[in-house]
């Protein structure tokens, strides 16, 4: 559920960066676009993220209404993360970032002389 505290933003890009930006959030959203994932799956897919960082990022995305967290009453407990309807609206933004990243890689590969 989105946080009811209204924050002052200078522009819409700032809102997007605040909600879905940073080092790990775009990757979390990217991997959840393909479906529900457990914590360990996300950590393995992302690589290099600490347990603490991933937990914090997931909590922030949940507080913003981008993902939902479902806890199953099992031993050991099972927790699954899924994009909400609002979260899935970030798909075009992530696709644009992916396209730009591919373009950047192609551009820099053409500029680098081959040894």
The predicted-structure confidence for 31-53, as pLDDT tens digits, reads as follows 999 999 999 999 999 999 999 99
6: burial class by Cβ within 10 Å (0-12, 13-18, 19+)?
exposed
Cα(48)–Cα(40) distance, integer angstroms: 13
Question: E strands within the chain?
Answer: 37-38, 67-72, 78-83
Per-residue pLDDT at 109: 85
Q: Is the CATH number 3.20.20.70 carried by domain 12-110?
A: no
Indicate if the pLDDT at residue 1 is higher than 50: no
Cα(107)–Cα(100) distance, integer angstroms: 10
Indicate if the pLDDT at residue 114 is higher than 90: no
pTM of the model: 0.85
Tokens of 45: 């897919």
Dihedral of the alpha carbons of 68, 70, 71, 73, in degrees to the nearest 10: 160
Indicate if the pLDDT at residue 6 is higher than 80: no
* pLDDT tens digits for range 66-100: 999 999 999 988 999 999 999 999 999 999 999 99
What's the mean pLDDT in 6-20?
90
Domain definitions of the chain by residue range: 12-110
Residue positions counted in the chain: 115
Phi, psi dihedral angles at 26 (to 5 degrees): -60, -35
CB 82 within 8 A of CB 70: yes
């Amino acid at each position: 559920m989105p946080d009811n505290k209204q924050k002052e933003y200078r522009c819409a890009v700032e809102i997007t960066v605040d909600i879905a930006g940073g080092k790990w959030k775009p990757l979390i959203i990217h991997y959840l676009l393909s479906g529900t994932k457990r914590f360990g799956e996300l950590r393995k897919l992302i690589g290099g993220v600490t347990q603490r960082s991933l937990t914090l990022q997931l909590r922030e995305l949940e507080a913003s209404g981008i993902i939902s967290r479902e806890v199953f009453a099992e031993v050991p407990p099972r927790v699954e993360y899924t994009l909400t309807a609002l979260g899935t609206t970030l798909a075009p933004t992530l696709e644009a970032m992916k396209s730009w990243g591919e373009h950047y890689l192609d551009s820099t590969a053409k500029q680098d002389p081959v040894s």
